[in-house]
Amino acid sequence: MTTKRLTFVLRLTSTVGLWVLMLTTIFAGYDFGFFCLLAFMALVALWEYYRMLEADGIGVFTLTGLICAAVLLAGGFLQMKDHGPEKAYDFEILVLVLFLIVTFARQMFRGTRRDPLRAMSYTLFGLLYIPWLFSFITKIIYLTPRAADGTTTGQYYVLFLVMVTKFSDMGAYVFGSLFGRHPFAPHISPSKTWEGFVGAIMTSLIAACWLYGLMSARLSFLRFDDVVLLGLMLGFAAVIGDLAESIVKRGANTKDSSHLLPGIGGTLDLIDSLLFTSPLLFFYMRLVLGIS
């Protein structure tokens, strides 16, 4: 087996295994367990981000950032579950304000950073980029009305989100590996090609239509034109999410966020595309479909 084929098999196995575990948890009715898994992944990914920066000599407030991220994720989850989007937004803004106050106070009384403004900026960016964007997956679960027996229905939209996003990732990888000839963004990632981009869009669209055909009754807020549009939008956002992480890694002079997952790299390498697709689906459901 060639190195490229082995990498593909390891990547596919790691991705499928992790997402089967997470989706099984939510479909079994353990929404709190699902949140704990998501929160764990978000915190590990944030730690990887801070670790990349520190390894490159960029000072950040790692412990402060991780604590604020944990509070942001847990509080936002509980507020969304019990009160809806508006309360969740208010709580998240409160956490960000408190983060700024705490980091300013920490710098005043413990001047341990030579460039505190840079440290605060990179730390805050990490909070917004990873745990805040990733938290929209749990928000989607509680956005749609509950069933008559009180169970959530948003998990079907999470399944739609994960499948379309990951099909986009896989399509980009397969088409890019097999047919890639023309660089897409060589200044960011030399391995990305236009053929891979086209493959990502095609496979995300196919996945969206296929899932809608399988469970249109479970995705009752969507119509076929919504599905086609979301297939294209989420496929494009997944590509941008992957490139966004490449920008971060290039800025930190590293190839992978870590080596935790065989064939993938780190947790941030696994969830990078979902960081952009999950809020996009959430706001499409709220602003276009009118779900509140």
Compute and round to an integer the Cα radius of gyration of the chain: 19
Tally of domains in the chain: 1
Query: In angstroms, rounded to a whole number, what is the distance separating the alpha carbons of residues 158 and 90?
Result: 23
Give SS3 for 47: helix
Q: Which of 252, 245, 261, 263 is nearest to 192 (CA)?
A: 245
Q: pLDDT tens-digit profile of 39-55?
A: 999 999 999 999 999 88
pLDDT tens digits along 135-168: 999 999 999 998 888 888 899 999 999 999 999 9
Instruction: Report pLDDT for 8.
Output: 61
pLDDT reported for residue 183? 86
Q: In the prediction, which pLDDT does 281 show?
A: 98
Residue 112 in this model has a pLDDT that exceeds 60: no
pLDDT, tens only, 185-201: 888 888 889 999 999 99
C-alpha to C-alpha distances, 157 to 25, 27, 35, 82, 162, nearest whole angstrom: 15, 12, 15, 19, 9
| Span 28-84, pLDDT tens digits | 777 888 889 899 999 999 999 999 998 888 888 999 999 999 999 999 999 999 998
User: Are the beta carbons of 268 and 45 closer than 8 angstroms?
Assistant: yes
* Res 273: pLDDT: 93
Question: 215: which residues sit within 8 A by CB, 6+ positions away?
Answer: 156
Work out the number of other CB atoms within 10 angstroms of the CB of residue 127: 22
Q: Containing domain of residue 66, as a range?
A: 3-288
Q: What are the tens digits of pLDDT across the range 245-264?
A: 889 888 777 766 666 655 55
| Sign of torsion over alpha carbons 53, 57, 62, 64 | negative
Neighbours of 218 (CB within 10 A): 15
The encoded tokens of residue 33 equal: 């367990």
The Cα 168–Cα 198 span in angstroms is 10
The per-residue pLDDT for 162 is 92
Q: What is the pLDDT confidence band of residue 14, given thresholds at 50, 70 and 90?
A: low
Strand 183-185, strand 189-193: pairing: antiparallel
pLDDT at 91: 96
Q: Is the pTM of this model over 0.95?
A: no
State how far the Cα of 275 lies from the Cα of 271, in Å rounded to an integer.
6
